[in-house]
Amino acid sequence: MDRILWLFGRGQERRIWRESTLHLQRPLGKTLALTLLMLLLLGGAAELTARSEPFQRLLREPGMGSRHYQLGRKLARLDAIIKNSGPIDCLILGSSMVDVGFDPHAFREGYKEATGQDIHCFNFGIDASTAVSAAAIAQILVEDYRPRILIYGTDARDYAVASEDNDPAVILESNWVRYRLGHFSLDGWLLDHSYFYRYRHYLFRLSRLYLEETLRSQTTLNYEITADGHTPLTTVSTYINDPPDPKDDSFEVTYTFSIFSSFEMLEENLDALERIMAHNNQETQVIITEMPVADGLYYFFGNGKDDHQRFLTQVGQLAQAHQVPFWQTTALDLIPDDGWVDYSHVNTTGAAIFSNWLGQQVGEAQNDWLLQNQTVSSPEID
Amino acid sequence: MNITSTHFVLFTLLALGVYYLLPRRKQNYWLLSLSYIFCITWAWQFALILALLTGANFALAKQLHKDGQQRRRFLWLGIGLNVLALVLFRMADFFMPEALALLTGLGVATEAGGLQFLIPLGLSYYILEIISYLVDVHRGQIRATTDFVDFALYLAYFPKLIAGPIERASSFLPKLANPRFVGNDMLARSFTLIVIGLVRKLLIADILAASIFLDVFVTPARYTPPELLGWLLIYAFVLYNDFAGYTNIVRGVSGLFGIELSPNFQQPYFARNFTEFWNRWHITLSHWLRDYIYLPLARTLLRRNRGRRKLLNFAVPALTTMLISGLWHGISGHMLLWGGLHGLYQIVERIPSLWRPTVPPQRQPGWRQVMAATLIFTLVILAWVPFRMELPEAVEFWRGLLNWSSFAIRYRRLFLVVPLIIGAIGLDWIQYHYRDEVIYLRWPRLAQAFCLAVVLLLLFISTGGEGVGEPFVYQGF
């Protein structure tokens, strides 16, 4: 028992470790213990500061351990809108097609037209997301925000990209996302629980005087996100119905070819879609909607429209199995020619039209569901 | 493995855990193994070169006990071998492209950076340790050790391997031969040194270094004179705190093993003359140069030209010593100029001693001491210009400093770092005033705990929670 470290005590002479080299005596570690206490107090003060509004207004939104520039920003915007306007009713998830294509304001108008009621929506579309990363985000958001409606805006690309690919990996490899999905790590736990920890990279950058990348007032962003999560793009493209030039080596063309030329729907992405649909219950209504694409996109598929149709059929079958509505937009030809940014992204004009239509659809569906629920639960009918 | 990394912390903790349980003899084996593992984490070639030089010099030193002319031959053979190794490896930068071209010509595939092992870790430092050992054995000041493990550990001891301190065998080998004790005081002192070192490195040097624009030392003409002066001032504090921080950390780490390493810095920017400056800046190198270059040369000259007050008798040793110091830092024109400038400073400073006795700085009035310290600091930072940049840029930088056509300071970062520089001076002033580098241990426990907690929190922020700083400036020498 001689070697047991009695760190604190009054006896100055009493040895607590007696080896040939280490000669430790009591008292030992009082300063360290006091330091730990101080550190706890200072850490608490730092945490309170990091949670304060002036502090959060000063710095950019923290990244939640992901290299993806949107994840942290959208989470912070979502928290801010809830703080300012109350809980949200619906969340829409998906890739950049949703990010730029879903305008919550136009959605609200459409919903109001159909129901006469207001709805509070947030666009959580994340650039380059796939079904697997969307399912991960869906699980976290449903758990934290319990939305009444969860809409997944989807397209063929969501099923063609593997989860090891950098696009979804940048979300899935975040320790915070992994922690929230049940894979414990200290980093993930700290990201989830501590605002001070979330801001550490910005504080580090601030200590290196990188003001332009840290302070909100000093930062100019390439893409602005609105308070309700939408990234409005105003560019208008006219080529979107034409076949792509085979000599075109732009990223848009080469990337789209690489995804669609031998189109295949990966099992892991279909499983992920089912996980999203599994959130459909009494509390949350899940809706799957096809995101609109321009006619020119079909030229990229190895089998043209057939491949695209395969995507629609397979998603439709899964939706039916889970009793989740799947709304298709291809046949509706919703978006006018000046409503496109490129083959698969709509601009503000396109976003307003699509979102208004979606709002009306959800509104009408709500009416039906309410009617159905009332019918089912009505004691008179029983 | 960077010594400010969490890997190094784990490495040291593991090393200590086993070390404390071993008897002294086995402790040395353990430390030697760890030192070579540490070396291999940088590159296995470094360990190989270190081992080869260790073996060769261990054998050579044994020959120095022999009588007659052969001893002298072996000494010069040893010095020649080590200097040659140093020069060849230090000049690797020059012949690297040629070596690559030759290998490619011979059809030997080489990766980019694959020949970087040609500049081994800590070579400049342990070569000086070897030379001092050979000379001391030759002079009969110490006996050549018969213990190969102790000798190998003297050169490879991992806390000092990267960038010193340059230890003398006469003081270091007995530490390895005798039992070591680590008590409460030693533990507290070592931790304090580590914390001060981390503050200097991560909170002062790294942050100040990040504030300097990359092109300042490449295209100084883009900046106004006050801006150039600001950058130079910042660089002076970066260099000092970086190296002093490193030394504090490794001395602290070594203290945990019960082995004290020599101090390298004692508030050099408070020096009131150049002799004092060199007794406060990179002390172990300065003393090495004094003992093995300056004094032998001065003695030789004194024997030839009797009379202490002859300019040549102190000018030649001072200039030669500082030129060699410059070359040790880098075989290049700008380092030679830096060394030459310091040599010149020392000569000019000592010229008055030719006709009147000099008054030690501490006996001079306070205002003169402050004036002298300011002058010395100004001249030292002006000499940092060729230390930091190539000759043409250095000349351009000096020209820029003198061209007072604009007084504008366009970069707010030059103002933002002022509190940090004041903090750095404050840290030095406390140590200087109390003549105790760990004065903090005498503070009330609550103040110690509060300071330590603040430092830990700031360290967490300044490293982004990753615990890794920038590489040390002096590990490149």
Pairing of β A121-125 and β A22-25: unpaired
Backbone angles phi, psi at A130, to 5 degrees: -125, -175
Per-residue pLDDT tens over the stretch A219-242: 666 678 888 999 999 889 877 778
Whether B76 and chain A come into contact, CB under 8 Å, resolves to no
Of the candidates A307, A330, A321, A217, the one whose C-alpha atom is nearest the C-alpha of residue A259 is: A307
* Predicted pLDDT at A71: 87
Task: Using the predicted structure, report yes or no on whether residue B471 has a pLDDT greater than 90.
Answer: no
B122: Cβ contacts below 8 Å, ≥ 6 apart: B46, B50, B160, B161, B162, B163, B164, B475
Distance (Å, rounded) from C-alpha B435 to C-alpha B159?
A: 25
Q: Which residue has the higher pLDDT, B125 or A213?
A: B125
Sign of CA dihedral B248, B252, B257, B260: positive
For residue B178, count other CB atoms closer than 10 A to its CB: 10
Interface of A with B in 212-251 (CB under 8 A): none
Q: Collect all residues of chain B within an 8 Å Cβ-Cβ radius of residue A208.
A: 207, 210-211
The mean per-residue pLDDT over the stretch B375-393 comes to 92
Whether B418 and chain A come into contact, CB under 8 Å, resolves to no
Q: Collect all residues of chain A within an 8 Å Cβ-Cβ radius of residue B416.
A: 209
Amino acid at B222: R
Distance (Å, rounded) from C-alpha B462 to C-alpha A204?
A: 5
Q: Where are the alpha helices (DSSP H) in A173-287?
A: 175-180, 186-193, 195-198, 200-207, 251-260, 267-277
* Predicted pLDDT at B476: 54
How much of chain B, in percent, has pLDDT values that exceed 70? Answer: 90
* Predicted pLDDT at B42: 83
Whether B464 and chain A come into contact, CB under 8 Å, resolves to yes
Please tell me the distance in Å from A62's CA to the nearest CA on chain B. 13
Whether A196 and chain B come into contact, CB under 8 Å, resolves to no
Domain with CATH 3.40.50.1110 in chain A: 88-161+228-377
Whether A201 and chain B come into contact, CB under 8 Å, resolves to yes
Of A118-127, A218-227, B286-295, B381-390, the one with minimum mean pLDDT is A218-227
Asked if B24's CB is within 8 angstroms of A20's CB, the reply is: yes
Interface test with B, best of A8, A17, A20, A21 (most B CBs within 10 A): A21
* Predicted pLDDT at B178: 86
What three-state secondary structure class fits A154? strand
* Predicted pLDDT at B90: 74
Asked if B445's CB is within 8 angstroms of A24's CB, the reply is: no
Residue with token string 């060199």? B278
Per-residue pLDDT tens over the stretch A103-134: 999 999 999 999 999 999 999 999 888 999 99
How much of chain A, in percent, has pLDDT values that exceed 90? Answer: 43
Whether B18 and chain A come into contact, CB under 8 Å, resolves to no
Q: Collect all residues of chain A within an 8 Å Cβ-Cβ radius of residue B20.
A: 19, 21-22
Of the candidates B33, B39, B36, B34, the one whose C-alpha atom is nearest the C-alpha of residue B10 is: B34
Whether A48 and chain B come into contact, CB under 8 Å, resolves to no
Contact A362, A111 (CB under 8 A): yes
Task: Using the predicted structure, report yes or no on whether residue B211 has a pLDDT greater than 50.
Answer: yes
Of A17-21, B10-14, B68-72, B141-145, the one with minimum mean pLDDT is A17-21
CA A345 to chain centre: 18
Please tell me the distance in Å from B159's CA to the nearest CA on chain A. 18
The mean per-residue pLDDT over the stretch B19-47 comes to 88
C-alpha distances out from residue B424 to A162, B163, B192, B419, Å: 52, 22, 16, 9
Task: Using the predicted structure, report yes or no on whether residue A13 has a pLDDT greater than 60.
Answer: no
What does pTM read for this prediction?
Answer: 0.77
Task: Using the predicted structure, report yes or no on whether residue B74 has a pLDDT greater than 90.
Answer: no
Give B6-12 contacts, CB < 8 A, sequence gap 24+: B6/B466, B6/B467, B6/B468, B9/B467, B11/B38, B12/B253, B12/B256
Task: Using the predicted structure, report yes or no on whether residue A381 has a pLDDT greater than 50.
Answer: no
Which residue of the set B287, B329, B334, B342 is catalytic? B329
Please tell me the distance in Å from A144's CA to the nearest CA on chain B. 27
Amino acid at A39: L
Contact B440, B448 (CB under 8 A): yes
Amino acid at A232: P
Pairing of β A149-154 and β A285-290: parallel
* Predicted pLDDT at A379: 34
Asked if B183's CB is within 8 angstroms of A23's CB, the reply is: yes
Interface test with B, best of A5, A36, A38 (most B CBs within 10 A): A38
Per-residue pLDDT tens over the stretch A293-341: 988 888 888 888 888 899 999 999 999 999 899 999 887 888 998 999 9
Q: Which residue has the higher pLDDT, B252 or B433?
A: B252
* Predicted pLDDT at B364: 83
* Predicted pLDDT at B254: 95
By C-alpha distance, the chain A residue nearest B415 is: A209
Ranked by mean pLDDT, which of A359-373, B108-122, B346-360 comes out on top? B346-360
Asked if A200's CB is within 8 angstroms of B461's CB, the reply is: yes
| Active site (annotated) includes residue B138 | no
For chain B, the average pLDDT equals 86
How is residue B236 written in tokens?
């002076």
Distance (Å, rounded) from C-alpha B422 to C-alpha B426?
A: 6
* Predicted pLDDT at B26: 87
Whether A49 and chain B come into contact, CB under 8 Å, resolves to no
How is residue B476 written in tokens?
């490149």
Pairs of residues, one from chain A and one from chain B, whose beta carbons lie less than 8 Å apart: 83
Please tell me the distance in Å from B466's CA to the nearest CA on chain A. 9
Asked if B464's CB is within 8 angstroms of A200's CB, the reply is: yes
Per-residue pLDDT tens over the stretch A127-165: 888 999 999 999 999 999 999 999 999 999 999 988 888
Please tell me the distance in Å from A117's CA to the nearest CA on chain B. 47
Reported as type and span, the H/E element at residue A173 is: none
By C-alpha distance, the chain B residue nearest A27 is: B184
Of the candidates B98, B122, B109, the one whose C-alpha atom is nearest the C-alpha of residue B42 is: B122
Of A35, A197, A201, the CB nearest to B452: A35
By C-alpha distance, the chain A residue nearest B456 is: A39
Reported as type and span, the H/E element at residue B269 is: none
How much of chain A, in percent, has pLDDT values that exceed 70? Answer: 89
Whether B453 and chain A come into contact, CB under 8 Å, resolves to yes
Q: Collect all residues of chain B within an 8 Å Cβ-Cβ radius of residue A207.
A: 207, 461-462
* Predicted pLDDT at A376: 38
The mean per-residue pLDDT over the stretch A177-196 comes to 91
* Predicted pLDDT at B54: 93
Distance (Å, rounded) from C-alpha B220 to C-alpha B444?
A: 48
Amino acid at B19: Y
Interface test with B, best of A22, A24, A189 (most B CBs within 10 A): A22
Length in residues, chain B: 477
How is residue B415 written in tokens?
């103002």
Amino acid at B261: L
* DSSP bridge pairs for A25: A15
Asked if A38's CB is within 8 angstroms of B465's CB, the reply is: no
How much of chain B, in percent, has pLDDT values that exceed 90? Answer: 42
DSSP tag of B305: S
Distance (Å, rounded) from C-alpha B246 to C-alpha A230?
A: 49
How is residue B59 written in tokens?
């054998």
CA A205 to chain centre: 25
Report, at the CATH architecture level, how domain A88-161+228-377 is classified. 3-Layer(aba) Sandwich (3.40)
A206: Cβ contacts below 8 Å, ≥ 6 apart: A59, A214, A215
Task: Using the predicted structure, report yes or no on whether residue A18 has a pLDDT greater than 90.
Answer: no
Asked if B456's CB is within 8 angstroms of A21's CB, the reply is: no
Task: Using the predicted structure, report yes or no on whether residue B71 has a pLDDT greater than 90.
Answer: no
Of the candidates A39, A66, A52, A57, the one whose C-alpha atom is nearest the C-alpha of residue A196 is: A52
Distance (Å, rounded) from C-alpha B450 to C-alpha B456?
A: 10
The mean per-residue pLDDT over the stretch B254-263 comes to 93
Task: Using the predicted structure, report yes or no on whether residue B204 has a pLDDT greater than 50.
Answer: yes
Q: Collect all residues of chain B within an 8 Å Cβ-Cβ radius of residue A204.
A: 461-465
For residue A10, name the pLDDT band (cuts at 50, 70, 90): very low
Whether B25 and chain A come into contact, CB under 8 Å, resolves to no
Of A45-49, B44-48, B151-155, B205-209, the one with minimum mean pLDDT is B44-48
* Predicted pLDDT at B64: 82
